[in-house]
Amino acid sequence: MWDLPPKGYSWATAGYMGAISSGQTTCGLLIGSNIAIGLRCGQGKEGIPEEHEQERNKAIHAVCELYSDFLKEFGSTDCKTLSHCDFSNSEELNRYIQNKGWKNTCDIFLKFVVNKCIELAEKEKLI
């Protein structure tokens, strides 16, 4: 999405399963979208975000809108609350996997986040 370079950036969230496994974390879809929005707004820029106030502000406002709308829609950004699973509890994790719990939780959140990011881009809030 958004012509972001495919090489290297996948490592930005390589350890995030550690956060999920802790049982207390923000939804990974929001974390990943935050990263993608920041990369999109800074695309082609040299230096750090603070050196590009306009683009950084676009990223801040877009992420704020994403999180605010997500909260309005789902009532939380907490992974355990949203997924109804404590991933640090092996019994709950096994139940979640066996029941394919992501189909009624994460898949719905993914669709929402992708659609919101597309909407932000179409409204030119990211470029």
pTM of the model: 0.86
pLDDT recorded at residue 5: 65
Tokens of 23: 């049982």
CA R_g for the chain: 16
> For the CA atoms of 47, 48, 50, 56, what is the dihedral angle to 10 degrees?
100
Q: Residue 90 corresponds to which amino acid?
A: S
At residue 91, the pLDDT reads 96
pLDDT confidence bin for 71, thresholds 50/70/90: very high
Q: What percent of the chain has pLDDT over 90?
A: 63
Q: How far apart are CA 35 and CA 18, in angstroms?
A: 17
Residue 115: other Cβ atoms inside 10 A: 10
Residue with the bigger pLDDT between 16 and 44: it is 44
